Amino acid sequence: MNAVEPRRAAYTFTLLGPRVVYGTGVAQAELAAELDRLQARRVLLVASPRERKTREDLLGLIADRVAGHVTDVRRHVPADSARSATALAREIDADCLLSIGGGSAVGTAKAVAFETGLPIVALPTTYAGSELTPSTGSPAAGRNAPAAPSACYRAPY
């Protein structure tokens, strides 16, 4: 029996949550334009050191816009992590958050967004679902505090 490779099409759609952009290579092709759409010039990256290293190809395209990096990315976003990340966002005068990673990275970005009102562009590496929901479960922000990504870039695995 021959295995059939599923056909994957590229698409973009907008729901009551973030703008979702799906397809192979879409983040590399469109991330700079997404940041332009948000008028983002001072981006705060929220990603573990490991995730940052795996996405250096992508980050090189926007290196001049990355003004800071939150590396303290932990499950359920402890209050001290949220406070530290929020302080860094204010210190560097960030105008956008870029989360790369799973639910912990998105959750950390959401905790910062809740306090600052900054938009989030999410590049999830897992399917935690947090990148598509309009709330955060961060104890620091309070359960189900409103904070949704503006855009989510997803590639097929």
Q: Is residue 76 part of a domain?
A: yes
The answer to whether the beta carbons of residues 152 and 18 sit under 8 Å apart is yes
Q: Is residue 97 part of a domain?
A: yes
Closest CA to 62 of 47, 77, 72: 47
Residue-wise pLDDT for 86-145, tens only, equals 999 999 999 999 999 998 999 999 999 999 999 999 999 887 777 777 766 565 555 555
Q: How far apart are CA 38 and CA 56, in angstroms?
A: 22
pLDDT, position 157: 46
Q: For residue 137, how far is the Cα from the chain centroid? A: 16
pLDDT, position 8: 66
**What sign does the dihedral 98-92-114-96 (CA atoms) show?**
negative
Q: Is residue 71 part of a domain?
A: yes
Q: How far is CA 86 from CA 29, 48, 101, 118, in A?
A: 29, 16, 18, 10
Q: Is residue 47 part of a domain?
A: yes
Helices (H) and strands (E) in the chain, counts: 5, 9
Q: Is residue 13 part of a domain?
A: no
Q: Is residue 14 part of a domain?
A: no
Binning the chain into helix, strand and coil, the percentages to the nearest 5 are 35, 25, 40
0.95 cut: is pTM over it? no
Residue-wise pLDDT for 42-77, tens only, equals 999 999 999 988 889 889 999 999 999 999 999 889
**Mean pLDDT to the nearest integer, 2-7:** 60
Is residue 33 pLDDT above 70, yes or no?
A: yes
Q: Give the 3-state secondary structure of residue 94.
A: coil
Q: Domain of 81: which CATH number?
A: 3.40.50.1970
Domain that holds residue 126: 41-150
Q: Is residue 36 part of a domain?
A: no
Domain count, the chain: 1
Q: Is residue 25 part of a domain?
A: no
